[in-house]
Chain A
Amino acid sequence: MTGVRGAALTGHRRPAVGLAAGDRRRTWPWRRAALAMTVVAAAGLPFVLPPYRLFQVTLVLVYAVALLGLDLVVGHSGQISLGHGAFFGVGAYVAAVMIGRLGLPYPVTLPAAALVTYGLGWAAGLPALRLRGLYLAVVTFSVAVVLPPLLKRFPEVTGGAMGMPVATPRGAGLDDDQWIYFLVLATAAVAVAGIRNLTRSRGGRALTAIRQHPAAAEVLGMQAASHLTRAFAWSAMYAGVAGALHTWTTGFVAPDTFTLSLSITLLAGAVIGGLATPAGPLLGALVVTAVPAAARELNPAAPGLVSGLLIVAVVYAAPTGLAGLLRRAAAAVAARLPAGRRA
């Protein structure tokens, strides 16, 4: 066994491709150990945390799924979406209507929400992404503003402005909140694996090429519009799945949860967490769940003030977001460790 095939089988790193090409930063040395520790911690968490804290952790995971999808648009494709709050809301309402009105079992709602939001993402992306530049942001901004009045317009289906309660999933042998946590955790794990595959696929590498050099990508035969539209549809689907999970977690939907400010919050999370980084979505989800809640206790206007300042500060001071900051800190520590041992 020789050559590249042999190297791949014996566990050498694959040749750098796409985003990783030219990346000479030190990687974390104990990859598998860290992964195993994360899995153990994630599995043990629901048995240690009190229910309310567990609920918050579940919500962080829900937002992380949405941010994974948003990162595909903003981080990998270099486009702006201000409509992911709307896709999130559509997913949430699809799940709520299926469970609450049609009496369907909850596992069906996840693929249904995914399908509907994939289609909507396609429909919004198709006109907007035929042209370069700003139109995706404009269209998605309008979508985000239109969704809440649209939901209120059909009260017999959606419950109107008051929203509607929905039965949350129940699992045998576990408390409800623990069961939901595991459902969300499993979905999030599948979502992470899906994004990894997507970004390393032919289409994912095409996105990188289109973002970094549109003209060169076109010369190489990549159709920017179709690649970007497909990526946007996937990304909307992630938001929709997150929305369905949100309904499972909170057991309640209302139009005013899914306003423009949710879309802005998600975009802020993606930017603050760090664009096109593996840890970015999780860090971003942590920030957007924790920071506004903490700020609201000071003043009702404070969450907006803090989020706005955070966005501008990150753009100026840390364009790679929190993930970039952490990576730099870790690299600095790792560079000092061997020196310390030698001394």
Chain B
Amino acid sequence: MFGQQLLEGLGAGAGYAALALALVLTYRFTGIVNFAQGELAMLATYVAWQLVVSGMPYWVALPVTVALAFAAGVLTERLVIRRLESGAGEVTLVVTTIGLYVLVNALATLVWTAALRAFPSPFPDSPPGLAALAAAGVAGAVLGALALVVRRTGLGLVMRAVAADARSARLSGVRVGRVLALGWGAAAAVGALSGVLLAPTLFLEPSMMTGVLVYAFAAATLGGFDSALGAVAGGLAVGVTETLAGTYLGFVGADLKIAVPLVIVVAVLLLRPQGLFGSAPVERA
């Protein structure tokens, strides 16, 4: 029973971790908390569903979807965010992502209606615990691949330079705009993975990612908003905590599980505001 719950928590946590990783990627590169991240993931999940329903095998549809999501992320950065970047304040940027959130949500409702849809599981015949473990494995593999790219390749060096100081990077000849678009694309691709991982348990509907976004915020806050490793660790921790609290705390139950991430966020902000793996900001005027 307990082991089963733990596995389920890890499976959900893998989905939260992927979305948290997407949030952290966007935040690291552009300093924006992208409230539309969950909705972009939802849109990608609908695309994956459409592909599978129209006859494409699951393991072909998945990479196609992730590639499409990457392109959508790059386009969003190019068409929407970059036009605002010069001189726009934090408020304007966040409001824009909220506008995108509303827009994408309405678009999905318009195209696919608000009906609940069953999403195929990648491992239809395996027991649920094993599927959860596999989901956690997928999230871990993605993080590993991302870490390899960032730490070991020239592209990764350029990305780290832009994240550390965009102006200095530009002065050393880095095409900062391209790297930012790349960051948004990578974030959208990882987010799409989150949607696909979670859709079999959550069912597909336009507002499926709203709750997940809350969990992902908690995961990113717990891990530290500027740490990719922290996002994944935080996601798994939040998933397990939420599942166990829902099962063993009678007061919480299935209905109030969504309050768990709020409690986590507030506790982290009060006790260790930079998160577990994050760096405390050094402010300089």
Contacts and interface: CB of A to CB of B under 8 A. Distances in A.
Interface of A: 74, 78-80, 82, 127-128, 130-135, 137-139, 141-143, 145-146, 149-150, 152-153, 214-215, 218, 260, 264, 267-268, 271, 275, 299-305, 307-309, 311-312, 315-316, 319
A134 B33 contact: yes
Contact of A305 (B83, B106, B261): B106
B227 interface: no
24 contacts: A78-B91, A82-B35, A130-B269, A135-B269, A138-B33, A138-B217, A142-B214, A145-B211, A146-B259, A152-B255, A264-B102, A267-B95, A301-B107, A301-B109, A301-B110, A302-B110, A304-B102, A307-B102, A307-B106, A308-B102, A308-B105, A309-B103, A315-B92, A316-B84
Interface of B: 27, 33, 35, 80, 83-84, 89-92, 94-96, 98-107, 109-110, 114, 210-211, 213-214, 217-218, 221, 225, 253, 255-256, 258-259, 261-262, 265-266, 269-270, 273, 281, 283, 285
Contact of A146 (B84, B91, B258): B258
Contact of B217 (A127, A142, A301, A311): A142
A143 B214 CA distance: 9
Contacts of B105: 304, 308
A301 B256 CA distance: 28
Contact of B103 (A82, A153, A308): A308
A214 B255 CA distance: 41
A312 B100 contact: yes
B221 A138 contact: yes
B102 A137 contact: no
B284 to A, nearest CB: 9
Contacts of B273: 130-131
Nearest to A271: B95
A150 B256 CA distance: 7
Which DSSP category, helix, strand, loop or mixed, fits chain A's interface?
Answer: helix
- Determine which residue in B83, B96, B102, B259 has the highest number of CB atoms from chain A within 10 A of its CB, and name it: B102
B214 A145 contact: yes
Nearest to A128: B269
A303 B102 CA distance: 9
